[in-house]
Copies of this chain bind each other. A is one copy, B any other.
């Protein structure tokens, strides 16, 4: 098994976060680095989706991954083994989200000079990560079919702050009471500007469209989102 770097990150003072996030965003823009903050509930398929995505874009975009988890480092190892791109693990020490300072501590451990896109896999949680600006240039989230089409009603802020909503596990749609149109309506009620892309990270269905969207965001000629 590949070894991956594990960084123990510390919580910053809450009140400072918005200022820190804005400053980090400016710095990243100046460095030509796009930071994608990927959020979801536990078990929605973030890591599998990332592997499929990265293998579709890594020939043209230099990608690095920061995996945030409370304790384990299984995701960072999986990403590294399956894609070969630089991948580090951030341990939050029990914290339920990442803030801008914690994100910066992770970024300090990456070679940003040789990176176009950093993907931050946030802690699996539909509540807290939505409340803390990480300094990301884009916010995205995954909603998986088994979770149900009513989640935008129950976790409003998460759907409001995301530019992109990925609906994952469409391959099991026949086995669940999930109405794609009702889901789209619920998402757009929270955020009329959200882009919605349906995929099955397991079968690969829809993954090309997702890769295309990400490529469009990371304009390699200008090296920014």
Residues of chain A having any CB pair with chain B under 8 Å: 41-43, 69-72, 74, 94, 96, 123-128, 131, 144, 146-148, 150-151, 153-157, 169, 171-172, 175-176
Query: Closest approach, in angstroms, between the C-beta of A102 and any C-beta of chain B?
Result: 15
If A69-B154, A94-B157 touch, whether A146 touches B172 (CB-CB below 8 Å) is: yes
Query: Closest approach, in angstroms, between the C-beta of A154 and any C-beta of chain B?
Result: 5
Closest partner residue, chain B, to A175 (CB atom): B172
Give chain A's interface secondary structure class: loop
Query: B70 near A127 (CB under 8 angstroms)?
Result: yes
Taking CB atoms, residues of chain B closer than 8 Å to A43 are 41, 144, 146-148, 151
Query: B96 near A127 (CB under 8 angstroms)?
Result: yes
If A151-B42, A175-B172 touch, whether A127 touches B123 (CB-CB below 8 Å) is: yes
Closest partner residue, chain B, to A149 (CB atom): B43
A82 to B156, CA, bound (A): 25
Closest partner residue, chain B, to A72 (CB atom): B153
Query: A154 near B70 (CB under 8 angstroms)?
Result: yes
Query: A71 near B153 (CB under 8 angstroms)?
Result: yes
A155 to B70, CA, bound (A): 7
Closest partner residue, chain B, to A71 (CB atom): B156
Give which listed residue, B69, B123, B144, B150, contacts A146 with CB less than 8 A. Answer: B144
Query: Closest approach, in angstroms, between the C-beta of A16 and any C-beta of chain B?
Result: 19
If A94-B131, A131-B94 touch, whether A124 touches B154 (CB-CB below 8 Å) is: yes
If A144-B146, A146-B172 touch, whether A42 touches B154 (CB-CB below 8 Å) is: yes
Give which listed residue, B125, B147, B171, contacts A96 with CB less than 8 A. Answer: B125
